[in-house]
Amino acid sequence: MSDIQDKVIAITGASSGIGEATALRLAAGGAKLVLGARRIDRIEALAARITAAGGRATAIATDVRRRDDVARLVARAGDQFGGLDVLISNAGIAPLSPLDELRVDDWEDMIDVNLKGVLYGIAAALPVFRAQGRGHFVNVVSTSGLKIVPTQAVYAGTKNAVRTISEGLRQEAGDKLRVTVVSPGYVHTELADSVTSPVIKAQIQHAMATAIPPDAIARAIAFAIEQPASVDVGDIVVRPTAQA
């Protein structure tokens, strides 16, 4: 993973699941990490774990619903490590439910975290990448956007919005910036904990019997990052072999 060595990489939603696994894998490859999440105790502990193992990491409380928080995450990369090579927008929630339940607050939360949080990341990092003449956006979306099913309409909508924005960003980026979207299938994470509908939560927990470990997604993210600067890995889908 020599092409990861010394890269400065910021990760949102780094306190558990895919974000935590990605941080550990990239740290092992020699990256300098800026870890963002709402649970500051979790990311501080993760940063300490990485540092104790000989890696380099710093943690900063980040609620992606707040544009200033995301801006501070990107600024921390510059202040502590002199720049930013990769922004991984991983933070996400999935309070799934049938539309008939009219859980409008949940809809708004998904839009704020899953969609606006990514846009805030673009707003913070794009000027930095332009000034540097290099940079890489990695946006974590979902296989839910590839196969639309009942109860996931709004969640899939937010993920497909990110997919569309990412493609537009890629086309505007020119030959100096890279844009990757990663679509995980069922993964052993805490995402199901954000489901507010008891019936849907039970269904998701049952489906998790086929789930793959978060490191499977971390490996895919590392693969995209470690490619030469002239190689842009645009879209990666990683799902359990048992997932329909």
Active-site annotation holder among 107, 137, 155, 186: 155
pLDDT at position 194 over 90: no
pLDDT tens-digit map of 206-216: 777 789 999 99
Q: What is the mean pLDDT of the chain?
A: 94
Q: How confident is the model at residue 104 (pLDDT cuts 50, 70, 90)?
A: very high
Quick check: is 47 in a domain? yes
pLDDT at position 223 over 80: yes
Quick check: is 48 in a domain? yes
Q: How confident is the model at residue 1 (pLDDT cuts 50, 70, 90)?
A: very low
Quick check: is 31 in a domain? yes
Tell me the mean pLDDT in the region 209-233. Answer: 95
Looking at the DSSP bridge assignments, the partners of residue 188 are none
Specify the pLDDT at position 202: 79
Specify the pLDDT at position 204: 77
Query: Which of 185, 111, 205 shows the shortest CA–CA distance to 142?
Result: 185
Quick check: is 146 in a domain? yes
Quick check: is 76 in a domain? yes
Distance CA 202, CA 213 (A): 20
Helices (H), the chain: 17-28, 40-52, 67-81, 104-110, 117-132, 153-173, 198-207, 214-226
**CB atoms near residue 149 (< 10 Å):** 10
Domain that includes residue 140, residue range: 8-227
Quick check: is 238 in a domain? no
Q: What total of structural domains would you count in the chain?
A: 1
Give the strands of the sheet with 177-184, arranged side by side.
56-61, 32-37, 8-11, 86-89, 135-140, 177-184, 235-238
Query: Which of 121, 132, 217 shows the shortest CA–CA distance to 169?
Result: 121
Q: How confident is the model at residue 233 (pLDDT cuts 50, 70, 90)?
A: very high
pLDDT at position 196 over 90: no
Quick check: is 125 in a domain? yes
* Percentage of the chain lying above the pLDDT 70 cut: 98
Establish whether 186 is a catalytic residue: no
Quick check: is 241 in a domain? no
CATH code at position 196: 3.40.50.720
